[in-house]
Amino acid sequence: MIIYILGSMGSGKSTLGKPLAKMMNRKYIDLDDYIEQQQGRKIHQIFEEIGESGFRQLEREALIQTSQLEGDYVVSTGGGTPCKGDNMEIMKENGLTIYLKLDSGVLASRLVSAKRVRPLLAGLDLEGIKAKIDSLLVEREPFYSKAHITVEGFCLSTKDLYTIITSYDDIKNKE
């Protein structure tokens, strides 16, 4: 079974996902890293060379491949992963989906100082990033909100996330 971490760029999917996997004794995959390793090029190069639609195709293939892996995993997705085609349904069929919800002000302040190159935010200052995240959230919230669990992501620790997931499992097992 797979635990999928969903949410906007800057929501902490990888920062929390990796230690969560360790805490839960699961293997860990960051979907962007998986794509980069398979492609032998960075996400921003993929965007430059084959555009966003090409990237979305690779992202979908990576999601399908990883959903077929045997064993217990935590998978941190990209911010746009749940919002294309039936990606959200694929994740829900193969595991537990958790949406880390944060407001755009917090996300923008994290993203403005992030080192990783994010093609959708290239060249934007703090205000530009906030405006872009606001418009992405309007588009994406309907997909994110289909997750099994929505968690307030501000100040969320790995231990908090662990407790939320394991108590959700307890509830499901009692049903």
32 binds ligand S3P (CB under 6 A): yes
**Among 98, 87, 79, 83, which residue's Cα sits nearest to residue 2?**
98
* Residue carrying structure tokens 């398979």: 38
> Is residue 91 at the binding interface for ligand S3P, with CB under 6 A as the rule?
no
**Closest CB to ligand S3P among residues 43, 161:** 43
And the tokens for 159?
Answer: 């231990």
Per rule CB under 6 A, count of chain residues that contact ligand S3P? 10
Say whether 6 sits in a helix, a strand or coil: strand
Task: Collect all residues with Cβ–Cβ distance below 8 Å to 14 and sequence separation of at least 6.
Answer: 30, 76
Is residue 120 a contact residue for ligand S3P (CB under 6 A)? yes
State which residue, 23 or 120, has the beta carbon closest to ligand S3P: 120
- Percent helix, strand, coil in the chain, to 5, is 60, 15, 25
- How far apart (Å, rounded) are the C-alpha atoms in residues 143 and 88? 7
19 touching ligand S3P, by CB under 6 A: no
Q: Does 80 bind ligand S3P (CB under 6 A)?
A: yes
With CB under 6 A as the contact rule, which of the stretches 85-93, 100-108, 118-126, 159-167 interacts with ligand S3P?
Answer: 118-126
Judged by the rule CB under 6 A, the positions of this chain that interact with ligand S3P are 9, 13, 32, 43, 78-80, 118-120
